[in-house]
């Protein structure tokens, strides 16, 4: 993935990139981010109906939303046209040389525009994908018809050091001598004691004959630690430089999750005046995994509701 960041006053679009820049350029406070190569990896489901795209969380992949997407699409494929995206540095999508929520958002937007030129999308984002989706809606509101943000808020999570511990533990696995996925699971257990979380992380471990590799760009994700420009951060200056997003927004929180708090409501409403908050009981951070049927019903109603 090749990105160039230049000042807007200095930027001139080469003739042979005009079409790509029209789809892929995003402006962030006087900076133009131009994508000049291929789109993000994605899986498409459905043959007709409204378009809906899903952005996963940290260490995830688009396929994490398969159960929800299939239910919305329906058996005959006419309930919706769903696209499950692998974010940059995850799954089968290209890797970056630095982490940036803004560039993630620009790449997602460019991918959606290239898949369905001129069409609008419902965009669903969980955790890291929720931050990315919020930025897409703010920066390119013409692209996003509706926004669903799942268990994340527009703020810097300063205390989130856990993902750095997870990265260190995964990087420490002896891939050259690893014999099985079960061995990898056992080696991760001291740092990641919850079996379901280990299974989630190990979905990124790929076997190639007698060798193994990770599908996550750990070095880039750990690069900025837990600072403002990290996975845990939030580009407040860039976000507030845009007008509020005036489309319908549903904000889904897990009743047992600490990610969305009362103090998040005011800044969320400042960016998204039409936001409606829904809390799902008996769900932690992975809301769509803990309560898939409830999540599906909420999104189905949201997808088909008439805009107010």
Q: Indicate which residues carry an active-site annotation.
A: 127, 219, 285
Tokens 């929520």 — which residue? 101
Interatomic CA distance for residues 185 and 181, integer angstroms: 6
- Half-sphere exposure (Cβ direction) of 302: Cα atoms closer than 13 Å: 28
d(Cα 271, Cα 265) in Å, to the nearest integer?
10
Instruction: State the Cα–Cα distance between residues 139 and 40, nearest whole angstrom.
Output: 19
Spatial CA neighbour of 109 closest among 84, 137, 131, 149? 137
Residue 109 phi/psi, 5° resolution? Answer: -60, -45
């Amino acid at each position: 993935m090749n990105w160039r960041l230049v000042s807007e006053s200095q930027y001139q679009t080469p003739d042979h990139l005009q079409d790509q820049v029209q789809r892929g350029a995003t402006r962030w406070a006087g900076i133009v981010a131009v994508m000049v190569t291929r789109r993000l990896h994605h899986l498409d489901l459905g043959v007709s109906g409204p378009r809906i795209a899903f952005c996963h969380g940290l260490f995830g992949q688009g396929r994490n939303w398969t159960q929800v997407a299939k239910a919305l699409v329906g058996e005959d494929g006419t309930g919706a046209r769903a696209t499950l995206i692998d974010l940059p540095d995850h799954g089968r999508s290209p890797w970056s040389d630095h982490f940036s929520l803004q560039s993630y958002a620009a790449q997602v937007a460019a991918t959606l525009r290239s898949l369905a030129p001129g069409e609008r999308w419902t965009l669903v984002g969980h955790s890291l994908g929720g931050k990315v989706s919020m930025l897409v809606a703010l920066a390119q509101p013409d692209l996003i018809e509706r926004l669903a943000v799942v268990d994340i808020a527009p703020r810097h999570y300063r205390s989130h050091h856990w993902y750095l511990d997870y990265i260190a533990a995964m990087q420490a696995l002896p891939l050259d001598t690893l014999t099985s996925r079960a061995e990898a699971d056992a080696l991760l257990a001291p740092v990641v004691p919850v079996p379901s979380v280990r299974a989630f992380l190990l979905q990124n471990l790929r076997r190639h004959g007698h060798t193994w590799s990770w599908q996550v760009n750990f070095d880039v994700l750990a690069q900025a630690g837990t600072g403002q420009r990290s996975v845990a951060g939030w580009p407040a200056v860039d976000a507030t430089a845009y007008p509020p997003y005036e489309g319908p927004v549903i904000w889904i929180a897990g009743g047992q999750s600490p990610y969305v708090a009362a103090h998040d409501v005011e800044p969320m409403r400042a960016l998204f005046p039409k936001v409606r908050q829904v809390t799902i009981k008996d769900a932690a951070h992975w809301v769509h995994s803990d309560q898939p049927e409830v999540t599906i019903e909420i999104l189905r109603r949201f997808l088909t509701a008439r805009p107010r």
